[in-house]
Amino acid sequence: MKTCKCNLELDGLPGISKIVCLEEVESTQAVARELAEEGSSERTVVLAEWQTAGKGQPGKDWESAEGGVYLTLLLKPESDLKFLPDLSVLAGKVVGETLTKLYGIKTRIKKPNDVYAWHPRRRKWLKIAGILTESSSAGGETSWLLLGMGVNLNNPLKLDTAVSVKAIRGAGVKREDFLEELFKLFWVRYSEWEYSSRARS
């Protein structure tokens, strides 16, 4: 695991209490899990330039070449365990809304944890992002939840079933712009979810 500045201007990242920025790591999820078990503060985010063993759906790897967004956010939601699966879909919708707002890309969610983008030249839906959640509980209450996101921005891809923002637009985009808008929207949706889940408890 190598630390670095990630070449991103992240001092003003909305709603984040702590940033752990890494150059190369097996997976941001594994690093965030260690931090959670050590008692790291809520709203800590682990970011990596690339992952050597990124994970997607169970049993599947996630391509994580340099140029994409690979992050895990540590949350400590005040919510019943039964509502935690909602966060995977919520995060996917936030990623999709961000891609649409910033780049005009049409997206749709494939439950529970994939985001697909419409490629106008290839005229098909291709995977552009994936969500991964993991939680720990004690006494029926949530101790922490890890929300992992992998988003293809400028990274090269080997799979013909996946696509990046750069491939659709024909030009690269700035990761800090994407991250800033992503978190602005995420905290609004997350607050709404927390309020709703408490009301339903």
Domain boundaries, the chain: 18-200
**What is the spatial order of strands in the sheet that 107-110 belongs to?**
18-25, 44-51, 69-75, 141-151, 124-138, 114-119, 107-110
Weakly modelled stretches of the chain, pLDDT under 50: 1-3
CB 47 within 8 A of CB 8: yes
pLDDT of residue 123: 96
Architecture of domain 18-200: 2-Layer Sandwich (3.30)
| pTM of the predicted structure, to 2 decimals | 0.90
**Model confidence over 143-176: pLDDT tens digits?**
999 999 999 999 999 889 999 999 999 999 999 9
pLDDT of residue 51: 85
Question: Residue 109, Cα to own-chain centre: how many angstroms?
Answer: 14
- φ, ψ dihedrals at 42, nearest 5°: -65, 150
pLDDT of residue 199: 74
